[in-house]
Amino acid sequence: MGLIAVVHCNCYKEGKTKAPPFAPELLRIDEHGSVELLSPYNADTFSKFHRWQESACSHPRMGLADFYLNYFGFRQVQWALSTIDADSCRAMRKIMPEDQMQWSSADLASHARRELPDFVELASKIESAFLIESDNGNVLHSYAPAYRGVFSSGQSVELGIDMQGFFIAQSDDEKLFRAMRFEQTLLESERTHKSADGEVEYRDLETGKSVRIRSAISREVNPGVRPMLLEISLTLARGDEIPREKILPPFCQGNGSRSRGC
């Protein structure tokens, strides 16, 4: 699931498109720069309109740019904006869609783009939680407040991380397991690799407490090999820990831009 950001071209407005295969009086340019079909119209005209849009000008679907935005990263940006100084990054706050569709002017999009360096600097000072592999420091997951920290759900349990550590939960109020440093052991490795429902043991390295469930953080462990060691790191959300492309949606200049859910 994600968002699609679209920037429309001005080709129809400037007379640079092919003639439509129906009466041009049926077309209009709306307040956002998008070419739309006036109602009422029949199914045949609707089909012709969409086929015409595909190649009406040199821009596919009459768009200067079309970006797919990861929804997880989008929600992380929303969270960061809610955490930093409320008077900062005002254009970014305005441009972020609140529902399934939002239009923004080219001027606002351009202003938001100029705010990105400040946003990155401010977001880098937010403390967050990261699930990392102890042996090599690889970041597996970062805390996602919008999802209550949950990064995996299935087999009647949820796996997640928050500022108190890694957790396994059956509900918001019932945590089966919590730990800051722990190990994961695949007790039925072959089954886990094939169907993801093999038995897995989690053991707190500080208290020794353990729990067995049928959900794994990672399947990259074989029988007889030492368990995967994992830990929670509470640190600043530095750019090298959260790749910029995962948290920053592109904001583009053009005739107009919109973001829509898909």
- Full pLDDT tens readout for the chain, 262 residues: 667 778 889 999 999 999 999 999 999 988 778 899 998 889 999 999 999 999 999 998 888 877 777 777 788 888 888 888 888 998 888 888 766 667 777 788 889 889 989 888 888 888 888 888 888 888 888 888 888 889 888 768 899 999 899 999 986 668 899 999 999 988 887 777 666 778 889 999 999 999 999 888 875 655 445 577 878 777 655 444 444 333 333 332 333 444 333 3
Q: In the sheet where 101-104 sits, what is the strand order?
A: 63-70, 2-8, 257-261, 101-104
Q: If you search the block for the tokens 């006036």, which residue do you land on?
A: 38
Short-list 128, 133, 156, 155, CA closest to 144: 128
CB 63 within 8 A of CB 7: yes
Q: If you search the block for the tokens 């199914």, which residue do you land on?
A: 43
